[in-house]
Amino acid sequence: MLTPIKIRKKPVSILLIFVFLLILASFTSQGRQKITLMEEMLLTVVAPVQGVFQRLTFSAESVFASVREYQLLLKENALLHEQLAASSTLEAQLAELRKENHRLRQMLDLREKSEYQLIASEVIARDASNWFQTMTINRGSMHGVKKNMAVVTSEGLVGSIYSVSHISSQVLLLTDSRPAVSAFVQRSREPGQVGVVESAPGIPGYLRMINLPREANIQPGDIVISSGLGEIFPKGLVIGHVLETGEDEYGILQYALLRPAANFNRLEEVFVVIPVTEKRE
Amino acid sequence: MGIIFIFGLFVISLVIQGSVLALAGTGGVHPDILFVVVVALALLSDGKRGALLGFSAGMLQDIVFASPIGFFTFGKMLAGLLAGLLAHEIYRDFVPVPVIVVTVLTVLNEAVTYLLMNMYFNPQVTFIHYLQHFSLPRVAMHILVMAIAYPYLYTAQKRRMFFHEPESTG
């Protein structure tokens, strides 16, 4: 016969721990202002290991990708040889276009974008669970990263800083069910047509823009950018492209399915955006 | 020394999950190696240690991957507790047994996780859909991981690498 163990004598204490975990999860499910010293220490220990593994993984993947693409490269090489002959003419045209581009940029009011100061960082880990979409970057409070700062790539908005430790930070991706970004359509820029972008339920990796007025001027192919409302995401960051639009279940509002501008499957380097107020401090 | 080995094993499992396996991309199904390690180690110990292993591993995962604290801890602690309680009622040197245990506990863990997700968030995914597209592939992956990893963990524990004290009953 089996000998009863201590745990069977104290089922109440085990039960209490489970209840405690439920309450703890309830409190922390909507985000936290600060992480504890214990968490800070743990993340400081784990982050360097994550960094090494992630670099090894990307290196290995690059090698495999190179082998896979070898045949493709041979064909591409032959094509490039042909194109090279015509390149001298194109080069002259390019120089002209560069000058024109420079002039046009000066004409455009890009002050909005130039106000951002960016912190370059590397992705050192991704959450592998299917419920949450987070990643860890190798920049923390010692590099000037703070909670709620926006995170971008050259392609567009990625997410925001969820928690910060000394040498690393955790980023809540846009594709996670928790964040929501106030946004509008770049083409129309109508102030009354601000919607909310969140993860698309049931379609992993895609976004959904909701709360759009029924008469909102939005169509497939439109670019959606952050509106700057909500004070987390600066105005003008590209979020994604509209794939399709439709009416909500009551027919009162519109929604749009978006393909994120940033490639969430291939995030290696990202930038943390320092808000204008932080920059001035 | 055993604690260091276990902590190292947890960290390596988490790091592999967060690097190599995350390459499967957004929405891809990945095995939860940490879960398999918890179940395997709990099967080599007892209920109390199993619960403690699940609690520690879950906390580590919640902290490192910024999920709500307690979210993954709940399921892992429950799995560790149940696996630990089964520890002395099964043939631990017969690999198919831990494979069966991990299969059952994975389904249980997936159900618990789905339940918690509904409590705190609004996943808008039916359990059947989640079961078909995520849970069942993960069960298959866990079976494979357990079949590969368990013999090594069993041999390591034979040398008292994880738990030094004489194994308790129960």
User: In this structure, how many other beta carbons lie within 10 angstroms of the beta carbon of residue B46?
Assistant: 25
- In 3D, which of A281, A275, A277 has the Cα closest to residue A117? A275
Taking an 8 Å cut-off on Cβ atoms, the answer to whether B69 and A24 are in contact is yes
- Tell me whether residue A81 is in a domain: no
Q: Which residues pair with A169 in a beta bridge?
A: A137, A164
- Tell me whether residue A114 is in a domain: yes
Contacts of A187 (CB under 8 A, 6+ apart): A217, A222, A223
Nearest chain A Cα distance for residue B99, angstroms:
21
Number of domains in chain B: 1
- Tell me whether residue B165 is in a domain: no
Taking an 8 Å cut-off on Cβ atoms, the answer to whether B89 and A204 are in contact is no
Residue B154: which CATH number?
1.10.1760
Q: Map residue B159 onto helix, strand or coil.
A: coil
Tens of pLDDT, residues A204-216: 788 999 888 888 8
Taking an 8 Å cut-off on Cβ atoms, the answer to whether B66 and A204 are in contact is no
User: In this structure, how many other beta carbons lie within 10 angstroms of the beta carbon of residue A178?
Assistant: 22
Q: Cα B85 vs. chain centroid, distance in angstroms?
A: 15
Which ipTM did the prediction report?
0.76
Tens of pLDDT, residues B134-152: 889 999 999 999 999 999 9
Q: What is the reported pLDDT for B66?
A: 81
| Interface contacts A/B by beta carbons within 8 Å | 167
Number of domains in chain A: 1
- Tell me whether residue A80 is in a domain: no
Q: Residue B19: which of A18, A53, A205 has the nearest Cβ?
A: A53
- Tell me whether residue B96 is in a domain: yes
Residue A124: which CATH number?
2.40.10.340
- Tell me whether residue B81 is in a domain: yes
Tens of pLDDT, residues B11-57: 889 888 877 776 665 566 888 999 999 999 999 998 889 999 999 99
- Tell me whether residue B28 is in a domain: no
Contacts of A196 (CB under 8 A, 6+ apart): A180, A181, A182, A183, A209, A210, A211
Q: Kindly list the averaged pLDDT for each block of 10 residues, start to end, along chain A of length 281.
A: 51 86 82 76 81 78 76 82 71 71 54 66 82 89 91 88 90 87 83 82 85 85 86 84 86 88 83 72 45
Contacts of A14 (CB under 8 A, 6+ apart): A7, B51, B81
Q: What is the reported pLDDT for B50?
A: 93
Q: What is the reported pLDDT for B27?
A: 60
Q: What is the reported pLDDT for B44?
A: 93
- Evaluate if residue B169 carries a pLDDT over 60: no
- Tell me whether residue A87 is in a domain: no
Tens of pLDDT, residues B94-130: 889 999 999 999 999 999 999 988 888 877 778 888 8
CA quadruple B154, B155, B158, B162: dihedral positive or negative? negative
Q: What is the reported pLDDT for A114?
A: 47
- Tell me whether residue B115 is in a domain: yes
Instruction: Please tell me if residue B8 touches chain A, with a CB cutoff of 8 Å.
Output: no
- State the best of A19, A43, A127 to mutate against chain B, taking most chain B CBs within 10 Å: A127
Q: Model-level pTM greater than 0.95? A: no
Radius of gyration of chain A (CA): 24
Instruction: Please tell me if residue B20 touches chain A, with a CB cutoff of 8 Å.
Output: yes
* HSE-CB for A94 with a 13 A CA cutoff: 6
CA dist., res. B154 & res. B156, Å (int): 5
- Evaluate if residue B81 carries a pLDDT over 90: yes
Nearest chain A Cα distance for residue B144, angstroms:
18
Which range has highest mean pLDDT (A114-118, B76-80, B90-94)? B76-80
- Tell me whether residue A165 is in a domain: yes
Residues of A in contact with B85 (CB under 8 A): 5, 7
8-state DSSP, B96: H
Residues of A in contact with B90 (CB under 8 A): none
Nearest chain A Cα distance for residue B78, angstroms:
8
- Give me the domain span that covers residue A47: 35-68+109-281
Residue B126: closest C-alpha in chain A: A202
Residues of B in contact with A10 (CB under 8 A): none
Interface of B with A in 53-92 (CB under 8 A): 55, 60, 63-74, 77-78, 81, 84-85, 88-89
Instruction: Please tell me if residue B170 touches chain A, with a CB cutoff of 8 Å.
Output: yes
Taking an 8 Å cut-off on Cβ atoms, the answer to whether A130 and B29 are in contact is yes
Taking an 8 Å cut-off on Cβ atoms, the answer to whether A125 and B89 are in contact is no
Tokens describing residue A117: 């100061």
Taking an 8 Å cut-off on Cβ atoms, the answer to whether A14 and B15 are in contact is no
Q: A8-29 b/e with 16+ CB inside 10 Å = b?
A: eeeeeebeebbeebbebbeebb
B103, B105, B109, B111: CA torsion to nearest 10: 80
- Evaluate if residue B77 carries a pLDDT over 90: yes
CA dist., res. A79 & res. A60, Å (int): 28
CA dist., res. B13 & res. A59, Å (int): 20
Q: What is the reported pLDDT for A34?
A: 74
- Tell me whether residue A8 is in a domain: no
Q: What is the DSSP string of chain A?
A: -PPPPHHHH-HHHHHHHHHHHHHHHHHHTT--S---HHHHHHHHHHHHHHHHHHHHHHHHHHHHHHHHTHHHHHHHHHHHHHHHHTHHHHHHHHHHHHHHHHHHHHHS--HHHHT-EEEEEEEEEE--SSS--EEEES--GGGT--TT-EEE-SSSEEEEEEEE-SS-EEEEETTSSS--EEEEETTT--GGG-EEEEEPTTSTT-EEEEEEETT----TT-EEEE-STTSSSPTT-EEEEEEEEEE-TTSSEEEEEEEESS-TTS--EEEEEEPHHHHH-
Count of positions (residues) in chain B: 170
Residues of A in contact with B27 (CB under 8 A): 130, 204-205
CA dist., res. A77 & res. A75, Å (int): 5
Instruction: Please tell me if residue B144 touches chain A, with a CB cutoff of 8 Å.
Output: no
Interface of B with A in 95-134 (CB under 8 A): 113, 116-117, 119-125, 129, 134
- State the best of B45, B65, B141 to mutate against chain A, taking most chain A CBs within 10 Å: B65
Query: Is residue A168 within 8 Å of A277, Cβ to Cβ?
Result: no
Q: Residue B22: which of A23, A126, A178 has the nearest Cβ?
A: A126
- Give me the domain span that covers residue B78: 2-21+33-158
- Tell me whether residue A144 is in a domain: yes
Q: Residue A49: which of B11, B88, B117 has the nearest Cβ?
A: B11
